[in-house]
Amino acid sequence: MTRAPFQRAPLAQTLFLSVQDVATIVTQVGAAATLARMADYIEADYKRWQDFDKCARVAAHSPEGVIELMPIADAKTYTFKYVNGHPKNTQVGLPTVMAFGVLADVDTGTPELLSELTLTTALRTAAMSAVAARTLARPNSKSMALIGNGAQAEFQALAFHHLLGIEEIRLFDTDPVATQKLLNNLKHTTLRLTVCDSIAQAVHGADIVTTVTADKTNATILTPEMLEPGMHINGVGGDCPGKTELHPDVLRACDVFVQYEPQTRIEGDLQHLPANFAVTELWQVLVGTAAGRTSPAQVTLFDSVGFALEDFSSLRYLRDVATEMGLGQRVSLIPNLVDPKDLFSLIRPAPVALALAA
- Which H helix or E strand runs over 294? none
Catalytic residues: 239
Alpha-carbon separation of residue 281 from 11, 226, 240, 271 (angstroms): 40, 25, 18, 16
Q: Cβ distance 218 to 243 under 8 Å?
A: yes
* Residue spans of alpha helices (H) in 137-233: 153-164, 176-185, 199-203
To the nearest 10°, the Cα dihedral for 189, 195, 196, 199? Answer: 50
299-317 burial string, b = 16+ CB within 10 Å, else e?
bbbbbbbbbbbbbbbbbbb
Q: CA angle, corner 33, sides to 29 and 34, nearest 5?
A: 70
How far is the C-alpha of 56 from the C-alpha of 30, rounded, in Å? 32
